[in-house]
A and B are shown apart, each in its own frame.
Chain A
Amino acid sequence: MIEARDLTKRYGDKVAVDHLSFTVQPGRVTGFLGPNGAGKSTTMRLILGLDRPQEGSATINGKRYAQLGNPLRTVGALLEAKSVHTGRSAANHLLFLAQSQGLPKSRVGEVLDLVGLREVAGKRAGGFSLGMGQRLGIAAALLGDPEVLLLDEPVNGLDPEGVLWVRNLMKHLAGQGRTIFVSSHLMNEMAVTADHLIVIGRGKLIADSATQDVIARSSGESVRVRTPDADRLAPLITAEGGSVSPVTEGPDTGALLVTGLPAARIGELAASASVVLHELSPQLATLEEAFMELTAGSLEFGQHGPAAPAAAGSAAMPGRL
């Protein structure tokens, strides 16, 4: 379990992380979302003790990172920035990390097999592709068989096969009861990977809830309707208080997008007027749309001073007026 309490980090005048509080529970994949510059990487660095917060604290299983003995056996981390010597082989990079924790040398081969880098173990890491570098970083994170994993943009630079592999790996590890905290700017990737989402913008917490809730909370739900009788159906819908807009581009050109009425009511209206329907499908807002909406609120908040953020979670503004 990871707990951040009132975490604040300033670089000069710039506030990177602003009184951020959240808890990452074990046994599930927790996604950490935010636009570029929102403070995701900084938050992870604060949790890992690489940077020192001006205020607040972060603990892992109740201890600050620096208090952990053999920390790699408790926490595995993949940082966004490269942390491998370009002149050192993958195997030697993992070996010095293993030795520092009193881990057996055999563990190096195991994680190399796990990430599929066995054949290039003796090659210098400087020659690795972005994807191979990510795999080496994941191997380093898994070296000590940790209960807690922090992964900053783990699918960056991976091919589709690699993305799927990371997704399955994270789900598998969470299924073993581990704590998985993974940041990403790929919102749709998080929609299929994360069970829970922590969304931040400008260093502040915007949402902290189940992935499904974040999506459902978005107000952008609509129903797509296809009918050869659009001219007759549209007035019926507007009369009931819905609004209709024709889709004018993309593969759905010619369909109608209805908001403000549930799909069932649209179907009833069509039936009562004997309008033929070819399609009647509720459109769930994507996580991306939900995210844009959430972070738009945060930007507005940032510009206009203290006001409750639009879709804030329970602990959105700890300790502030």
Chain B
Amino acid sequence: MTTAPAAAPDTRAAVPPARKAGFGHLLISEWTKIRSVRSTVWTLILFVVIVIGLTVLITSLINGSWGTGPQSGSRDASVLADPVGVILGVGVGLGQLTIAVLGVMVITTEYSTGVIRASLLAVPRRVPMLAAKAVVFAILILILAEIVCFGSFFIGAAILHSHVSVSLSDPGVTRAVVGAGLYLTVLGLFALAVGGLLRHTAAGISTVIGIILVIPIIANFLPDNSVDDHIRAYLPAAAGSLISHVHQVSGDLLSPWQGFGVLCLYTAILLGAAAILLKRRDA
């Protein structure tokens, strides 16, 4: 602790005349918030390592065991049928969890540390703060996820090159790779909205992981009729991830963009609910 100034300090410092701070200022402010916390940096590093690492691992294993082993025939055929799914599927499937965790935490840590009070004193109308946070988070994840998904695709395609030829100019491939980044971004916003509704890190993460991983498993045990097919098709992660698949599977009820639209709709509804509750609840 440094010595306190004994004399009365001059607080009438040069503060420029009041000029209404706009949404742009809030975006800059939220960017400072998100970049100045170590957990953001570590979670995003983990995301990059998981997606690219798993792509390298999976494609290298396939490349090394091509044409050998008892199951290789059918496995190699499935790689040939959907190389993008093989390259991105596992990495994005696990990497999405880090994005979901980060989405929940960018808002719940405000509550757990109490910084939400400082945030709301600065932005007492509250909803613009949430909007700025969502925009900054979405831009950050979109840029990073697209870089990682394209990087992962090129690395995976290069490793598989001697057996499978796949390029961005193949039908649906560019849309699938771009779509993987879009899916991760909207899923992150979905998690952010859940975090805003629940205001508690553990509850938020459990809920989002449950929605992504557990509910689809439960849905698989539903008897196979048309209603249950619809339920499965409209689950957030199942619908949203359609955009990252090159091929539509026979029996898909939604097209890639329709599925993505369904996830966007869920996310918009949850963000709206989070905004209303943020406005209404005591902080």
B117, A81: Cβ atoms closer than 8 Å: yes
- How far is A70 from B47 in the complex, measured between Cα atoms in Å? 37
Assess the A71–B122 pair: CB atoms within 8 A: yes
Task: Point out the residues of chain A lying under 8 angstroms from B4, CB to CB.
Answer: 116, 161-162, 164-165
A88 touches B21 (CB 8 A): no
Residues B18 and A92 in contact, CB atoms below 8 Å apart? no
**Which one of A169-177, A227-235, A243-251, A275-283 is at the interface?**
A169-177
Q: Is the CB of B121 within 8 A of A77?
A: yes
* A100 lies within 8 A of B36 (CB): no
Residue of A nearest to B116 (CB): A83
B1 & A95 in contact (Cβ 8 Å cutoff) = no
Number of chain B residues close to chain A: CB under 8 A: 46
Which one, A72, A85, A86, A116, contacts B122 given CB within 8 A?
A: A72
Across the A-B interface, how many residue pairs have beta carbons closer than 8 Å?
147
- Please determine whether B121 and A48 come into contact, CB atoms closer than 8 angstroms: yes
- A50 near B118 with CB under 8 A, answer no
- Whether B118 contacts A93 by the Cβ 8 Å rule is yes
Determine whether B214 belongs to the interface, using a CB cutoff of 8 Å to chain A: no
Which of B15, B29, B33 sits near A145, CB closer than 8 Å?
Answer: B15
Binds B, one of A24-32, A61-69, A204-212, A263-271: A61-69
Report if B283 contacts A (CB, 8 A). Answer: yes
Q: Which residues of A contact B12 (CB under 8 A)?
A: 145, 176
Does B3 lie within 8 Å of A83, measured CB to CB? no
Q: Which of B80-118 contact A (CB under 8 A)?
A: 109-110, 113-118
A117-176 residues at the B interface, CB under 8 angstroms: 117-119, 129, 131-132, 140, 142, 144-145, 159, 161-162, 164-165, 168-169, 171-173, 175-176
User: Is there an interface contact between B122 and A100, defined as CB atoms closer than 8 Å?
Assistant: yes
Distance in angstroms from B20 CB to nearest chain A CB is 5
Residues of B within 8 A of A85 (CB): 33, 37, 109-110, 113, 115
Does B125 make an interface contact (CB < 8 A)? Answer: yes
| A residues near B225, Cβ cutoff 8 Å | none
**Chain B interface mostly:** loop
Q: Kindly supply a per-residue 1/0 record for chain A positions 83-100, scoring 1 wherever the CB is within 8 Å of any chain B CB and 0 otherwise.
A: 111111100110111011
A110 within 8 A of B: yes
Smallest beta-carbon distance B263→chain A, Å:
30
Query: Separation in Å of the A84 CB from the closest CB of chain B?
Result: 6
Indicate if A306 sits at the interface (CB-CB under 8 A): no
Known contacts A52-B282, A107-B13, A116-B5; A102 and B37 CB within 8 A of each other: no
CA of A161 to CA of B2, assembled, Å = 11
Is B75 an interface residue when CB atoms closer than 8 A count as contact? Answer: no
User: Which A residues lie within 8 Å of B120 (CB)?
Assistant: 49-50
CB of A103 within 8 Å of the partner chain? yes
**CB neighbors of A among B15-35 (8 A):** 15-16, 18-22, 25-26, 28-30, 32-33
Contact B9 A172 (CB under 8 A): yes
Neighbouring B residues of A102 by C-beta, 8 Å: 19-22, 25
B15 with A144: CB separation less than 8 A: yes
Contacts of B109 in A (CB 8 A): 85, 87
The 10 A-B residue pairs with the shortest CB-CB distance, nearest first, are A102-B21, A172-B8, A92-B36, A165-B4, A100-B29, A83-B117, A99-B29, A96-B32, A66-B124, A116-B2
Given contacts A50-B121, A71-B124, 16 further A-B contacts (CB under 8 A): A51-B282, A73-B15, A84-B114, A84-B118, A87-B109, A88-B33, A88-B115, A99-B25, A102-B22, A114-B11, A116-B5, A145-B13, A161-B4, A162-B4, A169-B11, A173-B11
